[in-house]
Amino acid sequence: MTTEYGKILRKIRIDCGEVLGDMAENLEISSSYLSSIETGVRNVPQNFTDLISERYGLQKSIVKKLRKAEVSNIKEVKLPFNDKISNMKKETAVIFARTFNNIDDNDMEKIRAILVKREDND
């Protein structure tokens, strides 16, 4: 079963006149891995949408659609903590994760609005 992300990805591929193997080669991954992303067998890898956008020169509107579709398959989110991330950011991420299920929709919308505004500015 193809996911929404997979449908968009497939449309990009077809619009560029590429078969699965061509796109996989361009993205430097195997055809089977790309197929498993399209069908939702595998989650969309971190920074994959950025890679596709860069390699295919996608319009912002298409990138937004991909990012939105990415969310539908996610079962888990991992955050890369390294030495450059401040303790404040680490603590905030941990508190958010711990309290995630207890945050009501009203507060979640406020948090989301802040984050979407930041993402739009990047």
For 34-52, write each residue's pLDDT tens digit.
999 998 888 898 889 999 9
Residue spans per domain, the chain: 4-71, 87-121
> In sequence order, which residues have a C-beta less than 8 Å from that of residue 63 and are 6 or more positions away?
49, 53
Tokens describing residue 51: 């890679």
Task: Please enumerate, as own/partner, the contacts of 44-50 that have beta carbons within 8 Å and a separation of 24 or more.
Answer: 44/5, 44/70, 44/73, 44/74, 46/78
Asked whether residue 86 carries a pLDDT value surpassing 70, the answer given is yes
Topology of 4-71 in CATH? 434 Repressor (Amino-terminal Domain) (1.10.260)
Burial environment of residue 66 by CB neighbours within 10 A (0 to 12, 13 to 18, 19 or more): buried
**Identity of the amino acid at 68:** K
Percent above pLDDT 70 for the chain:
98
The answer to whether the pTM exceeds 0.85 is no
Positive or negative, the CA dihedral 7, 3, 42, 51 is: positive
